[in-house]
């Protein structure tokens, strides 16, 4: 009898130990955090973007994506250790699987996948990772690499010669680029993003749009994969004046640095959770 009790106690302790280890692993996996501050005063973007919008979209909305991403990683701890960049690129990537598994998975995530292929991200957290990892990466690029206080940077002075050459090669001038980018942004229905991306296949820049929090890294059906170096968040049916005013708050130095990494094949090293190099140098 005592032996049975001892075995029962030992078994219970073993179960508790495993549960504790699992909890520790889940806690360790959920280590994404929102940067505590921005590298510039948020009230210096008016009239392009008001101070309330700057704070609301970074410290509240972006933080919600962090919370949701950590929740998803707790659900799928096998994703622990993957960078934010990797999570985004794996949203649209697939692995070999049985036709039956592919059919079931497609129904679970609401995405048509060709026979014999399943997403790398587990179905139980796929949609949450898609939205949360996308939203977190998008806002990191936007706030920490794409924005600069109103009027502080000029395209002619601050964009790198390589970036200006690439824009000229596709659109012929900055004015024509603005026209094309603005038209694309105005055409986004509801919530979504407009991107200036580098296409490693054509070695040229292109303008893309994605719905909600998707981005070109994710390579989802209907989206050509690319390296997004500049993004504009259309978080509601904004007026044309908002899109036009965006060009007065672009961090052309940060965009140029992102372009250099994309062109060199080192875009994965771009850490959107840290301020662009020009902010680090000035800080």
First to last CA, the chain: 70
Average pLDDT over residues 6-12: 36
| Residue 266 falls inside a structural domain | yes
Report whether 149 contacts 249 (CB < 8 A): yes
| Residue 254 falls inside a structural domain | yes
Q: With cut-offs at 50, 70 and 90, classify the pLDDT of residue 111.
A: confident
Cis peptide before 193 (omega within 30 of 0): no
Average pLDDT of the chain is 86
| Residue 19 falls inside a structural domain | no
The pLDDT assigned to 119 comes to 87
Report whether 72 contacts 198 (CB < 8 A): no
| Residue 8 falls inside a structural domain | no
Is the pLDDT reported for residue 18 higher than 50? Answer: no
| Residue 35 falls inside a structural domain | no
The pLDDT assigned to 30 comes to 55
Judged by average pLDDT, the poorest of 49-58, 80-89, 101-110 is 101-110
Q: How far is CA 144 from CA 29, 147, 252, in A?
A: 24, 7, 12
| Residue 1 falls inside a structural domain | no
Enter the tokens of residue 121. Answer: 């991200």
| Residue 126 falls inside a structural domain | yes
Domain that holds residue 229: 47-282
The pLDDT assigned to 240 comes to 82
Report whether 87 contacts 79 (CB < 8 A): yes
* Residue 177 phi, psi (nearest 5): -65, -45
Q: With cut-offs at 50, 70 and 90, classify the pLDDT of residue 220.
A: confident
Q: Total structural domains in the chain?
A: 1
Q: With cut-offs at 50, 70 and 90, classify the pLDDT of residue 92.
A: confident
Judged by average pLDDT, the poorest of 15-24, 98-107, 150-159, 180-189 is 15-24
Is the pLDDT reported for residue 87 higher than 80? Answer: yes
Q: With cut-offs at 50, 70 and 90, classify the pLDDT of residue 224.
A: confident
Among 122, 83, 78, 82, which Cα is nearest to 104's?
Answer: 122
pLDDT 10s digits, 231-257: 999 865 567 888 999 999 999 999 999
Report whether 201 contacts 226 (CB < 8 A): no
Is the pLDDT reported for residue 203 higher than 70? Answer: yes
Average pLDDT over residues 205-220: 94
Q: How far is CA 11 from CA 19, 38, 41, in A?
A: 12, 50, 57
| Residue 17 falls inside a structural domain | no
The pLDDT assigned to 103 comes to 85
Cβ burial 259-274 (10 Å sphere, 16+ → b, else e):
bbbbbeeebeebebbe
What's 75's domain CATH number? Answer: 3.55.40.20
Is the pLDDT reported for residue 141 higher than 60? Answer: yes
Enter the tokens of residue 17. Answer: 């130990």
């Amino acid at each position: 009898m005592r032996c049975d009790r001892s075995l029962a106690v030992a078994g219970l302790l073993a179960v508790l130990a495993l549960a504790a280890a699992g909890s520790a692993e889940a806690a360790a996996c959920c280590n994404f955090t929102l940067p505590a501050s921005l590298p510039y005063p948020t009230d210096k973007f008016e009239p392009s973007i008001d101070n309330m919008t700057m704070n609301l979209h970074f410290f509240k909305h972006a933080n919600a994506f962090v919370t949701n991403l950590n929740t998803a990683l707790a659900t799928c701890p096998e994703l622990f250790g993957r960078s934010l960049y990797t999570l985004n690129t794996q949203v649209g990537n697939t692995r070999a699987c049985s036709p039956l598994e592919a059919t079931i998975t497609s129904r679970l995530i609401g995405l048509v996948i060709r026979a014999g292929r399943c997403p790398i991200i587990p179905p139980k957290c796929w949609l949450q990772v898609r939205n949360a990892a996308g939203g977190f990466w998008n806002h990191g690029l936007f706030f920490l690499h794409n924005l600069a206080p109103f009027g502080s940077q000029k395209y002619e002075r601050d964009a790198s010669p390589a970036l200006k050459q690439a824009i000229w090669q596709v659109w012929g001038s900055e004015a024509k680029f603005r026209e094309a980018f603005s038209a694309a942004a105005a055409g986004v229905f509801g919530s979504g993003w407009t991107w200036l991306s580098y296409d490693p296949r054509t070695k040229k820049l292109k303008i893309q749009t994605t719905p909600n929090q998707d981005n070109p890294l994710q390579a989802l059906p209907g989206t050509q994969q690319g390296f997004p170096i500049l993004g504009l968040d259309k978080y509601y049916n904004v007026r044309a004046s908002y899109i036009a005013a965006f060009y007065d708050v672009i961090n052309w130095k940060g965009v140029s640095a992102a372009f250099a990494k994309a062109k060199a094949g080192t875009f994965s090293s771009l850490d959107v959770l840290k301020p662009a190099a020009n902010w680090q140098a000035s800080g």
